[in-house]
Amino acid sequence: MAQSDEIETTSALRSFTGLPDAILSVICCLIAVGHIYVAFDPVLSELQRNAFHFAGFAALAAVLYPMWRGPDGKAFPVAIDLIFGLAVAASAVWLSIAEDAIYDRGVKFALPDWIAAIICILGAIELTRRVAGLIIPVLIILSLTYVAYWGQFVGGVFSFPGLSVETVAFRSIYGDDAMFGSIARISSTYVFLFIIFGAFLLRSGAGEFVINMARAIAGRMVGGPGIVAIIASGLTGTISGSAVANTASTGVITIPLMKRAGFAPKFAGGVEAAASTGGQLMPPIMGAGAFVMASFTQIPYETIVAVAALPALLYFLSVAFFVRIEARRHNLPPMPSEGQTLGSAFREGGASFFIPICTLIGLLVAGFTPTYAAVFGIIAVVAASWLTRNRMGPRAVFEAFVLGTKGMVLTAVLLCSVGLIVNVIATAGIGNTFSLMITSWAGGNILIAIILIALASLILGMGLPVTAAYIVLATLSAPALSGMISDQFVIAELAAGALPDAANAVLLFGVPEQAALLAGPLTYDEAAGIVRGLPLEIAAPLRDLVVPQSVAMTALLSAHMIIFWLSQDSNVTPPVALAAFTAAAIAKAPAMATGVASWKLAKGLYIVPVLFAYTPFLSGDWPLMLRVFVFAVVGIYALSAALQGCMERPFGLFFRV
């Protein structure tokens, strides 16, 4: 690729024209087609597939994201970046092929293996810096040096004796949770195929249909333009899975609509940012989080997205309540009709959205794997497009493959590289130690634990993308939170005197000084004090004896879903609120004021996780879930009214209290 053919821009990404652009597009298409082929015909081992996945996207990242730009916006020479990317890609491929030989030598690296491992790991660090900033590279370096050197100098529970550099390198490449391990597997299968699916939906015109349908449904309601933004962002979230991309794509239409209707610019931007953040909570895609969650918990993906539907709807209702109340508070009239009806919206593009989405959901419900469902969803998009004006021929299919591959570059590099951190956490046992610390600090109180995790999430979110923040937090804190949620069942059984004999024996062994108290009837508070004070070596087997498998799985899912929801807050919470700042630029409003407005509007991110912890909202028992949903709708509306000082009309301080 000649330097002269490159278009220099001041943005992070390079763009190309002419022959370089054509070559890059063909490579992107081949990468996408290759992943789809391997999904159906596993000609590669899992490690090889993950390594080839990283290799392809490492090369693309090196070319698309320059090493640096000068003050004038001029990028680093593309030829050098290309050589660097190819070296990283070749190293990843070599390591995937050399695995058997390394084992044959007794897990010893030869010189070519050392060279490849060093280039691969340093390449992952550098490419992550390019696509996601400095925080993750710093965490990777700290993690690797911790297990190799300085961990031995740390006192207390975090002291680690240290491993040889060869062992660290081997585990970083070939470990179950390493660069080419479980998280890379998620990236190379589910996540990429669903991103391709989303790219096909966008190319087929489904995004335009979503906007038109939202305007037809909600355009003339009180606060209609804001409701349009919420519906459009929620449905677009099923396509993009990115809050910032969601804000940028729908916000250019919805934010001017809201401003024309009389909403303040900062409020309009806040609505779009809050609604777009909810797009990552919206089944069936939920960003990359649902796939990672399924891998971590071993709960089927289709189960996760099914129980996530009501909470996501509750979140969007919480934003809608704020919009309606704000419209009533300022007495804003409904938006005048612009001729768009539900029927005309469906005729123009409804098939390109609903047929593929229904195909996808139907295949998941029928028990097919997400990978299989995504591929047939892609085929359904192409077929359905021929029922609309925007028919997808070979050129459109090619463009969709290219769009999906380019949209995957950041995520692929990030997920593979984060494996270096997760591998260290697993190797050193930091996750268990951190979980014990959370349990100790919270004193068994779930609400305090949630607040601690929310604070950690906010701090991590200032430098990590949402998915990375969720992975790190879930690895560190999910075991503690899951255990505390399960303990609620143990406490209830102990207070009711319903513990089995084996559990009573374990409990008595753990707290022999409480024998007199255990002999008589206990209040709930007394039972809670005993259970929450148990050491882990007693609490864990007690849970195994008392808590039914279904309750334990619900507790595990609830813990991960709490962390996943809280990890979204970095999109809307100052001082680093990426979705809110994107919306502020579109709304021409102050960035920080828009961030504060979006934080206020996104209160559902903090309320709904409390429901996960204390109610059966994710249990899969639909009558119970619907009951929680109905009561929660009333409660969130009341909270929104109290914060805004208005319902259908403004009211005073006494009524707010």
- The tens digit of pLDDT for each residue in 197-227 reads 888 988 888 878 887 888 788 767 888 888 8
pLDDT reported for residue 336: 64
Q: Supply 241's token pair.
A: 């899975």
What is the pLDDT at residue 508?
A: 87
Write the burial class of residue 451 (CB in 10 Å: 0-12 exposed, 13-18 middle, 19+ buried).
Answer: middle
What are the C-alpha distances in Å from 480 to residues 126, 331, 429, 526, 540?
33, 48, 14, 21, 11
DSSP string spanning 401-447? HHHHHHHHHHHHHHHHHHHHHHHHHHHHTHHHHHHHHHHHHHTT-HH
List, for residues 157-207, the tens digit of each pLDDT value. Answer: 788 988 999 999 999 999 988 999 988 998 898 889 988 988 898 888 887
Q: Could you tell me which residue, 23 or 8, shows the higher pLDDT?
A: 23
Q: What is the pLDDT of residue 12?
A: 63
Cα–Cα distance between 96 and 269 in angstroms, integer? 47
Token look-up 């319903």 returns 498
Determine what percent of the chain is predicted with pLDDT higher than 70.
95
The mean pLDDT of the chain is: 87
Quote the CA–CA distance of 174 and 180 in Å, as a whole number: 7
Backbone angles phi, psi at 496, to 5 degrees: -85, -5
pLDDT recorded at residue 2: 38
Name the token pair of 325. Answer: 């109340």
> From CA 125, how far away is CA 142, in angstroms rounded?
12
pLDDT tens track for 90-132: 999 999 999 999 999 999 999 999 999 999 999 999 999 998 8
Tens digit of each residue's pLDDT (9 = 90 or more) over 619-637: 999 999 999 999 999 999 9
Residue type, 403: L
Tens digits of per-residue pLDDT, 370-395? 888 889 999 999 999 998 888 999 99
Residue 455 has what pLDDT?
A: 86
- Identify the burial level of 266 via C-beta atoms within 10 angstroms of its C-beta, where 0-12 means exposed, 13-18 middle and 19 or more buried: buried
Could you tell me the pLDDT band of residue 462, with boundaries at 50, 70 and 90?
A: low
Question: In which band, very low, low, confident or very high, does the pLDDT at 483 lie, cut at 50, 70 and 90?
Answer: very high
At 294, list the tokens: 């399924």
Residue 4, pLDDT > 60, answer no
- pLDDT of 6 strictly over 60: no
The pLDDT of residue 5 is 36
3-state secondary structure of 16: strand
pLDDT at 242 over 80: no
Cα–Cα–Cα angle for 178, 182, 187, rounded to 5 degrees:
105
Token pair belonging to 490: 């143990």
Please report, for residues 11, 14, 15, 115, 457, the alpha-carbon distance to residue 75 in angstroms, rounded to integers and kept in the order given. Answer: 10, 8, 11, 28, 33
Cα-Cα-Cα-Cα torsion 221, 225, 231, 237, nearest 10 degrees, comes to 180
Give the H or E element holding residue 15.
strand 15-16
Tell me which residue of 409, 457, 421 sits closest to 576, measured CA to CA.
457
Express each pLDDT in 318-355 by its tens digit.
Answer: 999 999 999 888 888 776 656 667 788 788 778 888 89
User: For residue 3, is pLDDT > 50?
Assistant: no
pLDDT class for 238, splitting at 50, 70, 90?
A: low
Q: Residue 167, Cβ neighbours under 10 Å: how many?
A: 14
Q: Residue 615: is its pLDDT beyond 80?
A: yes
- Domain residue limits, the chain: 3-181, 183-409
**Per-residue model confidence (pLDDT) at position 58:** 97
Instruction: Compare 3 and 217 and report the one with higher pLDDT.
Output: 217
pLDDT at 248 over 50: yes
**Given a cut of 80, is residue 1 above it in pLDDT?**
no
Coil, strand or helix: which one is 334?
Answer: coil
Amino acid 489: pLDDT: 94
- The stretches of 162-261 forming alpha helices (DSSP H) are 165-174, 182-186, 192-203, 206-218, 224-240, 243-260
pLDDT digits (tens, 9 = 90+) for 500-542: 989 989 888 888 888 878 877 888 999 998 998 888 889 889 9
464 pLDDT above the threshold of 80: no
Tell me the C-alpha distance between 644 and 639, whole Å: 9
Task: Compute the average pLDDT of residues 640-653.
Answer: 87
Q: What is the mean pLDDT of residues 47-52?
A: 95
Q: For residue 6, give the DSSP letter.
A: E
pLDDT at 49 over 50: yes
pLDDT band, very low/low/confident/very high, at 10 (cuts 50, 70, 90)? very low
Q: Would you state the structure tokens that stand for residue 578, as one six-digit string?
A: 């990426």
pLDDT in tens, 280-313: 888 877 877 788 898 889 999 889 989 999 999 9
CB atoms within 10 A of CB 482: 23
Say how many C-beta atoms besides its own lie within 10 A of residue 183's C-beta: 31
- pLDDT, mean of residues 476-492: 92
Amino acid 463: pLDDT:
63
